[in-house]
Structure 1
Amino acid sequence: METDRPLWRSRTWLTATAGLLGLTAVLATVAPGGERGFILVWGITLVSVLCIVVFTAIRVRAERANFERELAEWATERASQAERLRIAGELHDLVSHGIGLITVRAAAARTVAGDAAVVEHATALADIEKASRETTAELRRMLTVLRQPGAAPLRPADTFADLPAIVATAESAGLTVAFEAAEFGIDPDSTPAAGAVGIELSEVSPGVQLTACAVVREALNNAVRHAGPTAARVGIRREGGAVIVRVADDGPRGEWRAEPGAGRGLEMLRERIASHGGSLEAGRHGHGFRLCAHIPVGHADA
């Protein structure tokens, strides 16, 4: 609820009415009797009514203008807060993914020994260079948009068709990702195409698709950062009036040292899902971690 939204409250008319009734009562008490007194009372009352109406209308108009200014300032502040949250979310996704991928590839390459080390080190360096260039390019794009609105195109919003690409990016960071086709009705050999995950795109709004993809991306990024080159399972299905997204990993292998995070990713994701009227469950699952998001498809997009 928008409890901080300014409310229109004006007691001017109530005050004016009370004042008019009081004036009429006083005049009726002190005025002389007879027809002359009656005319005097009603004459003064009529003039007073006209004056009060004019004064009240001017006062209410000024109050209304002041209220509209407060409402405009409130709306501007709300929009600014929403934009700051959006930018924070994009920066979080961008930095956590790019830096996480670099960390995992460097750590994984360091564990390889023998004849395979030369090839693995070369491949890891190539992956690290690619991730660094992509992260730098995205940061420049975002900074350009912030400095000059409209000067640079925004990245297209993710849809279900982008899920295979999101998974492929996580796999390039060292994860072994599998779709649970039996449970979720997803084709594990799907390619980036409409309907690839077994859900008609026309049945789910773009906002819900974007949020579902954000769940998968955040969960896989967290797995990369906290569990390293481990196994993960991604599932997404339609259940009644909601999209259910589940992502689970097997936890860190060996002596992998988790990369600490700021802890804002899940919080922002939970707020994002709540804006659709949904919920997010996140916690330990066996030796690993699991996210389960319930996103209603009938709720208006935020």
Structure 2
Amino acid sequence: MAVGMVAMGTLVTSRIEKSVTTVKAASVAFSVNNFIAPHIQELASSEQLSLKKFEDLKHAIDHSGLLAQVTSFRIWRRGGFIVYSNEPHVSQQDFLESSGVSQAWSGAVQVQFDDDIPLIKVFAPVRDSATGSALAVVESHEHVSALDSELVASKWQIWLATALITLNMMGCLFVIVAHSGRIIDRQRLALVERVSQLSEILQQNRLLQGRIERAARKTTEDNERLLRRMGYDLHDGVAQLVSLALLRLDKVKGSPQERDNLHKIHKALSDALGDIRNICKGLLLPEVRSMTLKEALMFMIRTHERRTGTTIECTIAELPDQAPEFVKIALCRFIQEALNNAFKHAGGQGQRIDIAWNGAQIMVEVADRGPGIDDIDRCMRGPGLGLASLRDRIESIGGDVTMNSASNAGTRITASLPLVMEISDAA
């Protein structure tokens, strides 16, 4: 704004200087046309003024007040002849026309500044009242002291007005900026408070998330212990009772009709015993705490191969020896259920397991080349203890389960779990 103020003041003062000189030139031209022009019309038909016209011209100039303002006054006729001058030594003499005089013959008032003296020179043409052409040129020299005082006064007024306007604008801007600054400060404080509240909420969320993950891990371990105990109870309780019943039936003798009924009962109990043992095999996991992660996963793969008589192609990357027990349990259950699903839907065709670890996550992918699953969403979210429960188990401890399948293109189930261990601990 200060630079703009200086530029505006400079521009306005320069315009004022030009306007003042223009007004001065117009004033001289007005005086010439009113006091001098009527007395020199004789020059249109004569090279010199008659004695009467010369006296009338001198009387008009003396009483017009022109000489009070100028230091030199000359009336030029074409050819460089000075018809009249307040300087007797140049009056009625021939001289070489100056550039101002030559330019004034074109009909326009000319203004020149002489900074050395200093003077302002005005060259005003006098027109012929009959033809309108330039009849003579009036040259006047005036000291610029009076004009300078007018210009200085005008400049001071302009600079003062510009400064006041600029200060007023700066004051308004200061008020606006100060008000805006207070608003920004209040908003900043509100934002800091909101960020502090959000940070506290995020901290609480992290604490809650940690508690949930610890609870999920403990639940996984508790569920595994429950399943193991159920398996042992079925094996040591119900299975033993059914076995005892079968032994007792073998010793029972009777009629042919009774033996036929006993045979049917024996077969039903044998089938029940086989189902109970299969259930026990599914419920019981090996003691993974004493195994490395790779050993536990390989044990589940080889167990499935023995039970189903199928072959599984495995690709296992370098894995850490030590891993949390809940991670081992979750991945063993995932492999068990995914392989059971592949055997159920694909008959064990093209079974493949890829296990990778990038230092932050462990990923297990189970794939087959079966007919595929049409409704993946129902399979992943449906009721039961299959893939839906496995997904819930994996996600509850911070993992993720995805499933891709297409008709006649097989099925691919992938589980990923966070597992951050030192690579030096890997097997």
TM above 0.5, yes or no, is: no
If you compute each CA radius of gyration, which structure gives the higher value, 1 or 2?
A: 2
Question: What TM-score do the two structures reach when normalised by structure 1?
Answer: 0.41
Where relative contact order (Cα < 8 A, 6+ residues apart) is larger, the structure is 1
Question: What TM-score do the two structures reach when normalised by structure 2?
Answer: 0.31
